[in-house]
Amino acid sequence: MELFSHGRKPRSNYRRPSSLGLSVTPLTAKSEAKSEYKPLPASRSHIVSPIADHLKPEGTFEAVTEAKAVYRNMSPSRPVIHRLKDTLKPEGEFAKSSETAVAYNDKQAQRPVIHRLYDHGSQVIPEGKLSSSSEYRGNFSTAPKGERVMPVWISNFEKVTIGGADGNRA
């Protein structure tokens, strides 16, 4: 779509086959490649087997080659450390408990016990007949069953019109 076309319709990318100069004759059911196809037998006879090796080493060979004779192993092995036997032993106050061991106090922490509220336990559910002592029926349930009670502030409203009492606008 051109940027400043000024009301012209954008040029469509779709072209009719007649405007492209294509042939109007129908295509044949078989393509040229399909009509010239010749199936070949599925065998491995076209693979040529390798020629047998007829070369054999002749002459005398030395046991150690020149490269092996000159070779020096440069990778060193880990050295063995010969340590002297230790003759020192701790004596005296080391045998006693240290300051940190004396000051350390293991609290033996344990997982806390969760005290859940008993919503459905026998302590919570009241016993006996509640209808005589309930405030609901006397104070809140004034509507007859099956009908919706209009709130007091809606039931006192007069019919309100937007344009005034006569409905005409000035």
Is residue 13 predicted with pLDDT exceeding 50? yes
Tell if the pTM clears 0.85, that is, is over it. Answer: no
Q: What is the distance between the alpha carbons of residues 163 and 170, in angstroms, rounded to a whole number? A: 9
Confidence (pLDDT) at 170: 46
Kindly write down the DSSP assignment for every residue of 41-70, as one continuous string: ---STTSPPPPPP-----S---SS-HHHHH
pLDDT, tens digit, for every residue of 110-169? 899 988 777 777 777 777 776 667 776 666 666 556 667 777 666 666 666 666 555 554
Query: What confidence category does residue 3 fall into, taking pLDDT thresholds of 50, 70 and 90?
Result: low
124 vs 113, 130, 133, 135, CA distance in Å?
21, 14, 17, 19
**Residue closest to 1 by CA, chosen among 13, 18, 16:** 13
* 24 close to 15: Cβ distance less than 8 angstroms: no
What pLDDT is recorded for position 71?
92
Half-sphere exposure (Cβ direction) of 29: Cα atoms closer than 13 Å: 0
Average pLDDT over residues 28-51: 84
**What pLDDT digit, counting tens, does each position of 97-123 carry?**
778 888 888 888 889 998 877 777 777
